[in-house]
């Protein structure tokens, strides 16, 4: 019990506290998270990605395994989710909403800070690459699923992947490493980039809190059991299977990979569904299902992630 309390206070409580400040801010002030999100997407997060990947001590093989693992995990979750959703009789647009909840974890606003607090620099570097690859998949596979629920191809939405700065930050970092032109870690350039990147973590958590304060769960609460179970139970089991198959040499990287798959539902799919999905359905709508699932899985994740981190750090799983 003391060990769980220690993990909670050191790795989870700081996250909850900062997100809680954002929640209170969202409830008491008319704060538009859009401007904060724009700063994160176009400036802060790309700086974090570039700084982390450019200076990472992880080998090229490990980076390739992480990227390949994220792709394999996403496609596997799509296949498994389709089978489960159709077996339960779930129809569009809720079927695609269920898949979006199950597939995409909050690897940014929550995943990076938790991994950083729980596993240090390696945790942050692994989480950053996980987020980067997932972002590409979000605007390809995610856009397809969201548009499918609206009865259209949504191919125009896929073009958004070319406007995701994280993608270019990854490419720039890898090219700089390959050409051996990365400035020294202690140089003014990398210090500045690191300072900007580090600021993304608390801002991400504030955004998460503000977004949760605006969630209207309405009558969708009872419908979140299946997508929440897939997100918090099925996804990490699949993540564990993938790291076993891929054979990660770095044990900490493998543990962080599984931890990232255990994160609560991401918020970005809600934006995609609002833009592309159909809203005509009996009962709840796709946006309501996703927003409520985000709220439920995030609340449950507080004790849940404490347990997952304890199991991973103990070596019982990996």
CATH number for the domain including 274? Answer: 1.20.1530.20
Count up the domains in the chain and report the number: 1
In a domain, 132, yes or no: yes
- Domain membership of residue 21 (yes or no) is no
> Is residue 127 situated within a structural domain?
yes
3-state secondary structure of 295: helix
In a domain, 63, yes or no: yes
Q: How many residues does the chain have?
A: 318
SS3 assignment, position 263: coil
Does a structural domain hold residue 276? yes
- Give the residue from 260, 247, 311, 317 showing the smallest Cα distance to 126: 260
Domain that holds residue 276: 2-14+33-212+221-314
In a domain, 27, yes or no: no
In contact, 84 and 269? CB cutoff 8 Å:
no
Supply the pTM of this predicted model: 0.86
pLDDT in tens, the chain (318 residues): 667 777 788 878 888 899 899 999 999 998 888 788 888 888 998 999 899 889 988 888 999 999 999 999 999 999 999 999 999 988 888 888 899 999 999 998 899 999 999 999 999 999 999 998 998 898 888 888 888 766 655 566 667 677 778 889 988 998 999 899 999 988 999 999 999 999 988 988 898 888 888 776 666 677 889 999 999 999 999 999 999 999 998 999 999 999 999 999 998 888 777 776 555 555 677 888 888 898 899 989 999 999 999 999 998 888
- On whether residue 19 sits in a domain, the answer given is no
* Helix, strand, coil percent values for the chain (each to nearest 5): 80, 0, 20
Beta bridge partner(s), residue 105: 265
- Asked if the structure places residue 253 within a domain, the reply is yes
Cα torsion angle, 35, 36, 41, 46, sign: positive
């Amino acid at each position: 019990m003391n060990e769980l309390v220690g993990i909670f206070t050191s790795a989870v409580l700081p996250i909850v506290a900062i997100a809680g400040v954002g929640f209170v801010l969202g409830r008491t002030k008319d704060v538009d998270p859009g401007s904060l999100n724009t700063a994160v997407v176009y400036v802060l997060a790309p700086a974090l990605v570039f700084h982390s990947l450019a200076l990472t001590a992880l080998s090229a093989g490990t980076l390739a395994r992480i990227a390949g693992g994220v792709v394999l995990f996403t496609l596997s979750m799509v296949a498994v989710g389709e089978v489960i959703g159709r077996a339960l009789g779930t129809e569009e647009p809720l079927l695609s909403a269920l898949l979006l909840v199950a597939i995409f974890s909050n690897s940014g606003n929550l995943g990076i800070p938790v991994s950083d607090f729980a596993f240090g620099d390696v945790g942050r570097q692994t989480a950053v690459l996980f987020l980067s690859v997932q972002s590409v998949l979000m605007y390809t596979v995610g856009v397809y699923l969201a548009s499918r629920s609206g009865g259209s191809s949504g191919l125009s939405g896929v073009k958004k992947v070319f406007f995701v700065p994280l993608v270019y930050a990854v490419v720039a970092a890898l090219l700089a490493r390959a050409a051996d032109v990365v400035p020294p870690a202690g140089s003014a350039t990398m210090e500045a980039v690191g300072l900007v990147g580090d600021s993304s973590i608390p801002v991400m958590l504030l955004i998460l809190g503000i977004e949760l304060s605006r969630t209207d769960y309405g009558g969708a609460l009872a419908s979140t059991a299946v997508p929440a179970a897939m997100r918090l139970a099925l996804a990490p089991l699949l993540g564990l299977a993938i790291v076993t198959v891929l054979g990660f040499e770095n044990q900490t990287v493998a543990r962080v990979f599984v931890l990232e798959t255990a994160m609560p539902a991401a918020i970005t799919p809600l934006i995609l569904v609002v833009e592309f999905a159909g809203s005509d359905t009996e009962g709840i709508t796709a946006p309501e299902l996703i927003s409520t699932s985000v709220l439920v899985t995030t609340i449950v994740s507080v004790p849940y992630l404490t347990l997952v981190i304890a199991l991973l750090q103990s070596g019982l799983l990996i």
